[in-house]
């Protein structure tokens, strides 16, 4: 019934990240979690092993995420994936009507689309790797983003650029907020003498890069007469309100 031979695939995944601590001082990793507050004294003492002391002096211990932090990462990755899905679909829907009337915009639209597709791929991989639940509103956002992209493109070039400007403004602020929270964690960990972990450090770098690219799109949109759209205020406010609502919903659902 079960076809298996012992493989290193699963074991190597687990041990690759903490190769030394894993076998030298496993109990330190298991029982140093802050979230455990039961009063029964833990029956396993940390080993009085000089090696463990020495290793700990060289490398600070990895910070164990508490529930608030895990929840934050969970909802952050979920929202970011939803946002990039929407971005990809908006560009996909905007491009044909826009290119027909303004063929010179083709390279710009392609460049922005490629960058968004890269962001989408990044978050898809992170979600699959960290077993985060994707948003249940996926098909609804799929439809809404397509309609938004197509609708603004049919309204005209300025409206399409205004849509991009509105979405990127919201997204830029949203990523900034996330980076701020993660940097706050990094600072607290440093004060406590813990290591935040490679994954989160890489995540901060990635989020910064992605935020910079989104703001670059914002600049392109403004450069291409986003502010000339009529009715500018109504369009931008409706789209920004919609983005904020979508972000709020995706964080939870």
Partner 1 sequence: MAPVRLSNSVLGSFRAASRRSALWRRACLYHSYEYNQAPPFPPAESAILSAALAHVPTHGFTSGALTQGARDAGYLDVSTSLLPRGVFDLIYYHLVTQRLALKDSVQFLAEGEKGKSLSIEAKVRSLTLARLCANEPIIHRWQEAIAIMAQPTYAPDSIAELARLADEIWFLAGDQSVDSSWYTKRASLSAIYSATEVFMTQDTSKGFIETGKFLDARLEDVMKIGGFFGAMGDWLDYTGHSAVNVLRSKGVRI
Annotated binding site for Fe cation: 84, 116, 119, 168, 214, 217
Q: Please identify, using beta-carbon distances, which residue of 2 and 48 lies nearer to partner 1.
A: 2
- Angstrom distance (rounded) from CA 154 to CA 184: 43
Q: What is the dihedral of CA 124, 129, 130, 132, to 10 degrees?
A: 40
User: Residues interacting with partner 1, by CB under 8 A?
Assistant: 1-10, 13-14, 17-18, 26, 29-30, 33, 35-43, 62, 64-65, 67, 70-71, 73-74, 77, 81, 96-97, 100, 124, 127-128, 130-134, 136, 138-139, 150, 154, 197-199
Q: Would you say 217 and 172 are in contact if contact means Cβ atoms under 8 Å apart?
A: no
How open is the CA angle 211-213-217, to the nearest 5 degrees?
A: 115
Q: Please identify, using beta-carbon distances, which residue of 63 and 217 lies nearer to partner 1.
A: 63
We find the least distance from the C-beta atom of residue 150 to partner 1, in angstroms, to be: 8
We find the least distance from the C-beta atom of residue 207 to partner 1, in angstroms, to be: 16
- Angstrom distance (rounded) from CA 10 to CA 6: 10
Question: Contacts by 54-59 with C-beta closer than 8 Å and gap 24+?
Answer: 55/20, 55/21, 55/24, 55/25, 56/25, 56/28, 59/20, 59/21, 59/195
Q: Please identify, using beta-carbon distances, which residue of 11 and 237 lies nearer to partner 1.
A: 11
- Among 93, 123, 105, 129, smallest CA distance to 209 is for 123
- Among 186, 182, 176, smallest CA distance to 247 is for 176
- Angstrom distance (rounded) from CA 19 to CA 22: 6
Q: Please identify, using beta-carbon distances, which residue of 71 and 114 lies nearer to partner 1.
A: 71
We find the least distance from the C-beta atom of residue 158 to partner 1, in angstroms, to be: 16
We find the least distance from the C-beta atom of residue 143 to partner 1, in angstroms, to be: 12
In sequence order, what are the residues at sequence separation of 6 or more whose Cβ sits closer than 8 angstroms to the Cβ of residue 145?
A: 85, 86, 87, 89, 90, 93
Binding residues: 84, 116, 119, 168, 214, 217
Q: Please identify, using beta-carbon distances, which residue of 118 and 134 lies nearer to partner 1.
A: 134
We find the least distance from the C-beta atom of residue 241 to partner 1, in angstroms, to be: 25
Q: Please identify, using beta-carbon distances, which residue of 206 and 216 lies nearer to partner 1.
A: 206
Q: What is the DSSP string of 82-96?
A: HHHHHHHHHHHHHHH
We find the least distance from the C-beta atom of residue 86 to partner 1, in angstroms, to be: 13
């Amino acid at each position: 019934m079960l076809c298996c031979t012992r493989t290193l695939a699963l074991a190597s995944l687990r041990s690759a990240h903490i190769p030394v601590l894993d076998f030298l001082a496993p109990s330190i990793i298991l029982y140093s979690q802050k979230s455990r507050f039961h009063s029964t004294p833990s029956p396993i003492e940390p080993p009085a092993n000089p090696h463990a002391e020495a290793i700990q002096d060289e490398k600070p211990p990895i910070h164990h995420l508490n529930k608030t932090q895990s929840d934050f990462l969970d909802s952050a990755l979920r929202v970011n994936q939803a946002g990039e899905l929407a971005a990809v679909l908006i560009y996909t829907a905007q491009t044909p009507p826009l290119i027909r009337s303004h063929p010179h915009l083709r390279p710009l639209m392609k460049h922005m689309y490629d960058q968004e597709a890269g962001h989408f791929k990044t978050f898809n991989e992170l979600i699959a790797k960290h077993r985060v639940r994707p948003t249940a509103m996926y098909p609804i956002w799929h439809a809404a983003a397509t309609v938004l992209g197509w609708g603004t493109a049919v309204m005209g070039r300025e409206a399409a650029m205004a849509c991009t400007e509105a979405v990127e403004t919201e997204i830029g602020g949203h990523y900034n907020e996330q980076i701020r929270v993660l940097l706050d964690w990094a600072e607290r960990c440093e004060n406590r003498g813990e290591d935040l972990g490679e994954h989160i450090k890489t995540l901060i770098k990635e989020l910064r890069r992605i935020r910079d690219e989104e703001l670059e799109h914002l600049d392109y949109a403004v450069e291409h007469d986003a502010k000339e759209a009529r009715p500018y205020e109504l369009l931008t406010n409706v789209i920004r309100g919609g983005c904020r609502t979508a972000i709020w919903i995706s964080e939870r659902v």
